[in-house]
Amino acid sequence: MGDVRKGVSKVDEQISSVTQSMVYTKLLINNADRTGEGEPLSVVNPATEELVAEFQGASLAQVNEAVTCARAAFDSGDWRNAEFRKAVLHKFADLIEENGDVLMETLISEVGTPVNLKLNHINTPAAFVRWFAEAATRDRSRNLGFNATNTAVSMVAYRPVGVVAAITAFNYPILIGATKIGAALAAGCTTVLLSSPQAPLTVLLLGDLIRRAGFPPGVVNIIAGGADVGRALTEHPDVAKVSFTGSVNVGRRVMQQAAAGLRSVVLELGGKSAAIMLPGVDFNKYALSLHARYARNAGQGCGSPTRILVEESRYGEFAEISRKVYPQIKVGNPRDPETIVGPVITAAQRERIEAGVASAVKAGATIIAGGGRPDMSKGWFLNPALVGGLDNQARLAREEIFGPVSVVLTYRTVEEAIEIANDSELGLKAYLFGAKDQCLKLAPELQVGTVQINGGSPLRPDAPMIGYKHSGVGAEWGEDGLREFLLPQHIDCALN
């Protein structure tokens, strides 16, 4: 037994050594590595509770320097050539994939993301950046022709807005960070990318790839820091536009800060997405994928189906089938390829999720399936939980909990189901399960930016991500997302 333990210890030491070698804490300003001079940041592995890194984030002076360098790069014209932008963005996408193992290892260490989500965290961002690379050379100008008196001819050209401040969330830092700067860069803007203070390491690691891809100095700058750094960035007079992903409350503050300088924003905020199981739908066909959808990444996804609507007469049937499939949703070591649910980001987040469920149960709700903590000595793990016995006015049914928890609500008619789904301040996504023709007919009635029918498909770079109501402002991804970083310019030319 002692020899086995020595062998395991040796493996643990090797893993620790590999992890430490991948820790990268330098800021990227004007294509140079910079040690932070601001407030300290600590990164703790949520699966092991061990300290991964402790370093200083950006100072306010370094925020100013990063924006100043981005503005100088924009004004220099070095980034105006669309074919050059296309080539560099393609190289960046290649490097993301080539360095996918290192990026994923860092992501597991700081976020606890299961390794089986590598496709979402590595391959998908690379594909999105490639799409933006191709979109960089598209001619969007419009010829308006002669005016009414035939004395002038007009056209509309599209110009990059300038310096873009891009701020990521912790849950999908590569996807969010790479696509934010990808859209802005394709449009001809320059950028300052600010990581979430809860997941800075993966974003900072992108800095080396930025240099190797051949971006000119100042075109992409990457910094880390807390709220003060974020405020200095969003209020900087040389920032033309702010793109932020995060909670609704923080999004409001970002919008207020940007408004002080009359700069516009793109906000991708929270969701409380409804999944409507229409009459006659086969629960067995969709139950596992539906529950895994809100449980994966420890439920830390804004588009998760966290309100499931079933016919009142079939509530018991849905509950029974759910209990049967729940054991297939594995909770555990994020490096295990079979794991679907890793840890949540912090101990405080786990306590907040548990308190929300406990409060609902105290008010009369029941745990249909799952719940509690797994038998693990370390890490901020939670079993996924399916909660019933609520109505749509319950707090657990209205607020984004950002954990592996969903509630089951009942309806009597399809019209009532649509009303319940729309009865929310949030409008990011909705899911419909049933006959395709019926789903397509109902989709326009849902007040959300995305409707997925019978599971839909993986993320696609040409489709916009838009939040209705409090779920966002503006669009991300696709042509709509790229155009957020362009300004139309009317050119009116007299004929004489």
Which pLDDT belongs to residue 11?
35
The string of pLDDT tens digits covering residues 98-153 is 999 999 999 999 999 999 999 999 999 999 999 999 999 999 999 999 988 878 99
- Nearest in space to 206 (alpha carbons), one of 102, 53, 78: 102
> Both 348 and 256 in a single domain?
no
> Both 125 and 259 in a single domain?
yes
Strands (E) in 16-141, as ranges, are 27-29, 32-34, 40-44, 51-56
The catalytic residue positions are 268, 302
> Both 429 and 361 in a single domain?
yes
> Both 358 and 231 in a single domain?
no
Question: For the residues 62-76, what does the mean pLDDT come to?
Answer: 98
Query: What's the total number of domains in the chain?
Result: 2
Q: Distance between CA 193 and CA 206 in Å, rounded?
A: 10
> Both 282 and 194 in a single domain?
no
- The model carries a pTM of 0.93
> Both 314 and 444 in a single domain?
yes
Give the model's confidence band at 23: pLDDT under 50 very low, under 70 low, under 90 confident, else very high.
confident
Structural domain containing residue 308:
274-466
Question: For the residues 218-234, what does the mean pLDDT come to?
Answer: 97
Residue 1 domain-assigned (yes or no) = no
The string of pLDDT tens digits covering residues 148-157 is 887 899 999 9
Which pLDDT belongs to residue 22?
60
Residue 17 has pLDDT above 50, yes or no: no
- Nearest in space to 402 (alpha carbons), one of 357, 453, 458: 357
Q: Distance between CA 207 and CA 24 in Å, rounded?
A: 9
> Both 55 and 193 in a single domain?
yes
CATH number of the structural domain spanning residue 253:
3.40.605.10
> Both 263 and 324 in a single domain?
no
Q: Distance between CA 129 and CA 340 in Å, rounded?
A: 26
Residue 15 has pLDDT above 90, yes or no: no
> Both 56 and 19 in a single domain?
yes
Residue 5 has pLDDT above 90, yes or no: no
Residue 13 has pLDDT above 50, yes or no: no
Residue 5 domain-assigned (yes or no) = no
Residue 483 domain-assigned (yes or no) = yes
> Both 20 and 151 in a single domain?
yes
Question: For the residues 328-356, what does the mean pLDDT come to?
Answer: 97
Residue 388 has pLDDT above 60, yes or no: yes
Question: For the residues 162-184, what does the mean pLDDT come to?
Answer: 97
